[in-house]
Amino acid sequence: MAADLAVIGLGYVGLPLAQEASRAGLTVLGLDVAPDVVAALNDGRSHVDDLDDADVAAMLDAGFRATADAAELATADAIVICVPTPLSDEGGPDLTAVTAASRAIAAHLRPNTLVVLESTTYPGTTDEVVRPILEQGGLEAGQDFHLAFSPERIDPGNQTFGLRNTPKVVGGHTLACTAAAAAFYRRFVDTVVEARGTREAETAKLLENTYRHVNIALVNEMARFCHELDIDLWDVIRLAATKPFGFKAFYPGPGVGGHCIPIDPNYLSHNVRARLGYPFRFVELAQEINATMPDYVAQRIQNLLNQERKAVNGATVLLLGVTYKHDIADQRESPAVPVARRLMALGAQVVFHDPHVPAWDVDGTTLHRVADLDAALTGADIAVVLQAHSAYDGEMIAKKAPRVFDTRGITPASETVEHL
Residues that are catalytic: 260
Distance CA 22, CA 78 (A): 14
Q: Where are the beta strands (DSSP E) in 126-248?
A: 146-149, 168-172, 192-194
CB atoms within 10 A of CB 279: 12
Is residue 188 a contact partner of residue 157, using CB atoms and an 8 Å limit?
no
For 32-68, b/e burial (b = at least 16 CB within 10 A) is: bbeeebbebbeeeebebbbbeeebbeebbebebbbbe
Q: How many CA atoms lie within 13 A of 27 on its CB side?
A: 8
Of 352, 360, 341, nearest to 385 by C-alpha is 352
Helix (H) or strand (E) holding 6: strand 3-8
CA distance 381 to 337: 20
Which strands, in side-by-side order, build the sheet including 146-149?
65-67, 28-31, 3-8, 76-81, 114-117, 146-149, 168-172, 192-194
**Which residues 6+ apart lie within 8 Å of 408 measured at CB?**
251, 253, 321, 385, 386, 387, 388, 420
